[in-house]
């Protein structure tokens, strides 16, 4: 990747939506909200006055720390909606005092020792693509300061075991660099979250990231063989094994821990051979629930397609995949070992049996994938126009899905009108599918009021989150908890598990310096 990352939006500086993509977005905003879209200049480093650092590292590790304004701004926020609103308001009051770039594992231990002794908060930082407030350096007054710990220099593929199909990979490496290192060996991790280009292996593990596969291999959990973590209490490394029944898994405690227990320095990751056989098709359905039944039939048939995504007509139309005329089902299979014709044929039979029609435009899948990858760039255009646009996702069992979807969609639409005084849009897709239920993903757009965007967003978020839990879903399927989901996560998890996790926090991080306020109140 060339260029610095933006501190106010998605991707690298001087990148974004092209003219055609901007035109489609602006037409949508004009049609839906009757506004006159325009380009607004983004924040510049010189627009922001940062406070002086409150902490001074000891001489032995001082060379690892930087107070460069761009780095401090970059490490203030992730990519959530309210964070972008604050960035465009030039509000960086929570900026870290310093950013530290450890080069080796012992550097991390030294930083954590100093921070623990000095009551300084430490926020582990991969690439800052959190969309739930997971890396915001918000700290209580009793901390002396806060530093952001950036792992970008721990970015290597250290070992490759071609016999077992696994590799030991450092936590700070980004998705494209992983695949580039594995390609000469005919191997691939093949975990492609939407943030693939701008996220790291350590971040994927820490947030239980969801990836490319719609079925079977859905989360990074499926690929982790062992993890090495630096905690304030010492090093914790699990044994590398294909499986084990020796008590609760230490890896499972670190996967999803969101930087609250330790810093993931490297992990052994299961790999796959690169696919050679591929096939795909697109189907149209007049009814969303009928399409969901087709997805359930395929998901329960043991076929495990790589793609089984349902996109309702609102979402398909919004992103230019069709003209709002029908719900789309995108199906794909791929294999490194064998032709997949029989699997494809059976899946098509099931879909047609449930009322689907084969879509004549096979490019619809490519159009959707392109729009999906490019979606995050839109926010830096919409926030200055006072548009509230965000997503949330969940998972629910099939027996509850129809009532769940109706309740969540209705609550979100009502919340938009309550918050803004006018209707907005709500659309849905499935990101992942399990034999026992789907992972529905919702996108909403509304026209907010200047100066009230964060409060209006919060009202919509609260109503939607309440609806998710009441209807039997999870507060998050793959976006992690961060700060945005903390009230709902605390309600969803068993109270005794919360106490057990708090005890683990005390054991591994006695001074409670790591990402305060995330997962542990």
pLDDT, tens digit (0-9, with 9 covering 90-100), for 215-265: 999 999 999 999 999 999 999 999 999 999 999 999 999 999 999 999 999
User: What's the token pair of residue 329?
Assistant: 């089902």
Distance spanning both ends of the chain, measured CA to CA: 36
Residue 388 has pLDDT above 60, yes or no: yes
The whole-angstrom separation of Cα 111 and Cα 101 is 10
Asked if residue 272 lies in contact with residue 188, where contact means CB atoms within 8 angstroms, the answer is: yes
Single pTM value for the model: 0.96
- Nearest one of 213, 209, 437, 218 to 306, comparing CA atoms: 213
Asked if residue 32 lies in contact with residue 445, where contact means CB atoms within 8 angstroms, the answer is: yes
The strand pair at 65-66 and 98-100 is best described as antiparallel
- Nearest one of 82, 18, 36 to 377, comparing CA atoms: 18
pLDDT top residue among 366 and 517: 517
The whole-angstrom separation of Cα 506 and Cα 510 is 5
Residue 318 has pLDDT above 50, yes or no: yes
Asked if residue 481 lies in contact with residue 132, where contact means CB atoms within 8 angstroms, the answer is: yes
Q: What confidence category does residue 1 fall into, taking pLDDT thresholds of 50, 70 and 90?
A: very low
Q: Which residues contact 434 (CB under 8 A, 6 or more apart)?
A: 215, 218, 299, 395
The whole-angstrom separation of Cα 473 and Cα 407 is 11
Q: What percent of the chain has pLDDT over 90?
A: 94
Window from 79-88, 366-375, 455-464 with minimum mean pLDDT? 366-375
* CATH numbers and ranges of domains, the chain: 157-273 (3.30.465.10), 277-470 (3.40.462.40)
Asked if residue 325 lies in contact with residue 301, where contact means CB atoms within 8 angstroms, the answer is: no
Length of the chain: 521
Helical (H) or strand (E) element with 26? helix 19-33
User: What's the token pair of residue 1?
Assistant: 């990747």
């Amino acid at each position: 990747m060339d260029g610095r990352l933006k501190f106010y939006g998605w991707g690298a500086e001087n990148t974004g939506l092209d003219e055609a993509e901007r035109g489609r977005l602006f037409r949508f905003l004009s049609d839906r909200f009757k506004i006159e879209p325009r380009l607004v200049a983004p924040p510049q480093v010189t627009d922001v006055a940062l406070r002086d650092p409150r902490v001074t590292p000891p001489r032995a590790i001082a060379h690892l720390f930087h107070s460069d304004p761009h780095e401090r701004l970059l490490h203030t926020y992730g990519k959530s909606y309210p964070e972008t609103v604050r960035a465009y308001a030039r509000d960086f009051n929570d900026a870290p005092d310093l950013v530290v770039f450890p080069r080796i594992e012992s550097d991390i231990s030294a930083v954590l020792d100093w921070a623990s002794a000095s009551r300084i908060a430490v926020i582990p930082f991969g690439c800052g693509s959190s969309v739930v407030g997971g890396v915001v350096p918000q700290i209580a007054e009793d901390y002396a300061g806060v530093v952001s710990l950036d792992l970008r220099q721990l970015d290597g593929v250290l070992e490759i075991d071609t016999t077992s199909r696994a590799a030991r990979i450092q936590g700070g490496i980004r998705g494209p660099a992983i695949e580039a290192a594995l390609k000469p060996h005919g191997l691939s991790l093949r975990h492609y979250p939407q943030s693939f280009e701008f996220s790291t292996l350590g971040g994927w593990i820490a947030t239980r990231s969801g990836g490319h596969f719609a079925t079977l291999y859905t989360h990074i959990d499926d690929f982790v063989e062992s993890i090495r973590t630096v905690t304030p209490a010492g090093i914790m490394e699990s044994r590398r094994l294909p499986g084990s029944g020796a008590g609760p898994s230490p890896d499972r405690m670190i996967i999803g821990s969101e930087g609250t227990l330790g810093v993931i320095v490297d992990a052994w990751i299961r790999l796959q051979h690169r696919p050679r056989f591929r096939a795909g098709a697109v189907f149209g359905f007049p009814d969303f629930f009928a399409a969901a039944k087709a997805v359930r039939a395929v998901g329960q048939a043991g076929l495990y397609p790589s793609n089984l995504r349902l996109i309702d007509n609102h979402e398909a139309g919004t992103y230019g995949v069709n003209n709002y005329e029908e719900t789309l089902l995108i199906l794909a299979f791929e294999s490194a070992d064998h032709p997949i014709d029989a699997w494809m044929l059976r899946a098509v039979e099931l879909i047609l049996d449930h009322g689907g029609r084969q879509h004549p435009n096979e490019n619809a899948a490519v159009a959707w994938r392109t729009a999906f990858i490019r979606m995050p760039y839109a926010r830096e255009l919409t926030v200055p126009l006072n548009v509230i646009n965000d997503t949330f996702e969940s998972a629910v069992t099939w027996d509850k899905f129809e009532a769940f979807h109706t309740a969540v969609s209705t609550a979100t639409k009502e919340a938009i009108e309550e918050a803004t005084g006018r209707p907005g849009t709500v659309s849905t897709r499935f990101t992942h599918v399990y034999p026992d239920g789907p992972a529905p993903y919702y996108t909403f757009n509304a026209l907010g009021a200047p100066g009230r965007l964060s409060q209006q967003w919060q009202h919509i978020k609260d109503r939607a989150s309440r609806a998710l839990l009441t209807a039997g879903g999870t507060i998050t399927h793959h976006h992690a908890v961060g700060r945005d989901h903390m009230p709902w996560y605390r309600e969803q998890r068993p109270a005794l598990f919360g106490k057990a996790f708090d005890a683990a926090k005390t054991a591994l991080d006695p001074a409670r310096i790591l990402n305060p306020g995330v997962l542990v109140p």
